[in-house]
Structure 1
């Protein structure tokens, strides 16, 4: 592939990652400041729509992986994106009156997602610009997931569990069974995603340290 042909997807990825980092920063500050000053239920009422919109933009990740624009495994990308879409669309959008939306797990899921994505998108944006990623940002990219993936996935699971009754009442019994099926998929899906990131962490952090010795 010629240099001009490579330039277009690179510019697109720089723009996408930069914009995504900015949007997730909005979600983070909304959660912190609105949560601190107003709390629930105002937090979800005021921030729910922007959280849904920002997360839905992540479908672009699936396209980038499927088209070979990025090297991230397609299965891993699809699993992570769809699990979050199930939360924002399946619960936040379809079940606006679910008790999960006004529970503290809404705060923990938004913080877990936003911190993870601010770090991840900033890392890739800087890397693609060829400016040299600061060591501290590289460490954050491949270390914070050890905690944030656990808090994020636990919060997602809690959201589905808290929404079971509302799903059956507002939509139908089949909808609550759909949530149960999603929860069953979380066990192998979370394991695959978490172990993939652990392998990447070893490769990037410890791989580099071995080369410098």
Structure 2
């Protein structure tokens, strides 16, 4: 999520400092509430079979993948748990103010970086979850929200204390360690949650037409050659793909502009995650190197 650090180097007015303190405190509390509700949802038993599988009380005859399926079933529907989805979209929308803070120079963060990261979250909430019932019921919503809420509670608490010139090593350690798991979990959940709302890829524009043309070419060949090709694995795969593409299209697998946008964003999600993740790894190394040096100096004294 966006890094909006309190500005150093010049004194902040008491009014601005009070506002930023209030903003970070409110944001930390709102995300703490979402974290509490998310953990409550995860810990709440649902169907008996899913409960037994999720918590390891499976029978020896179950297939290995049954545990994964049961866990997914257990995490489904978090959006509707005590208004969790509604609270999430408005709490996340509040982060738009972080872009304003950066643009006005109230915090020392690049406007473009903050805006892109906030926009990514808002797209996940307003561009994927809200318009798609399947996304609201998807178990990835729960994993995404868990990663978001833990990250944001730590981040906003860190900035609140930084404004008061309070440095808590444990909080810094959490900030530069938890992201190792939370960033891939959160960004991966965002990406695949969006991907799950897409029509079948075989119904992409021009793909059905391409498959149909290949099918027509196959049938235009001499009968003996055509039958020989259709007996091969590639030939059977082609016929099966054509049939599935036609069935998906007739069942409503039609691509709309928003689907294309989601697919494009899904593709560029991963380079963006790599850039942000490697940046945080560098920050983590700096943090631990600094504290190791300070610790060594203290011991020497």
* TM-score over 0.5 (shorter chain): yes
Q: How does 1:83-162 map to 2 (within 5 A)?
A: 83-95=120-132, 97-98=133-134, 100-130=135-165, 132-162=166-196
TM-score (norm. length: structure 2): 0.63
2:93 to 56, 68, 77: 56
Q: 2:198 aligns with which of 164, 168, 174?
A: 164
C-alpha separation in 1, matches of 2:17 and 2:254: 43
Q: Matched residue of 1:158: which SS?
A: helix
**TM-superposed deviation, 1:63:** 1.3
Q: How many residues align?
A: 208
Deviation at 1:196, TM superposition (A): 2.1
Going from structure 1 to structure 2, the CA distance change for 1:90 and 1:209 (only over 3 Å counts) comes to same
Structure having the higher Rg: 2
Deviation of the 1:26 alpha carbon: 1.1
User: Normalised by the size of structure 1, how large is the TM-score?
Assistant: 0.87
Output the aligned Cα RMSD: 2.4
- 5+ unaligned residues in a row in structure 2: which ranges? 1-8, 47-73, 205-251, 297-301
1:79–1:189 Cα contact (<8 Å) kept: no
Displacement of 1:185: 2.3
**Contact 1:126 1:133 (8 Å CA) reproduced:** yes
The structure in which a higher percent of residues are helix is 1
Alpha-carbon distance in 2 for matches of 1:81, 1:116: 14
**Which runs of 5 or more structure 1 residues have no equivalent in the other structure?**
none
2:109 to 50, 69, 72: 72
CA displacement 1:9-63 (0-9 Å, x = unmatched):
2211111111001000111111111343266655212311111111111111111
Which consecutive segments of 4 or more residues in structure 1 shift more than 4 A? 38-42, 168-172
Q: Structure 1 residues 44 and 170, CA, compared in 2 at 3 Å: closer, same or farther?
A: farther
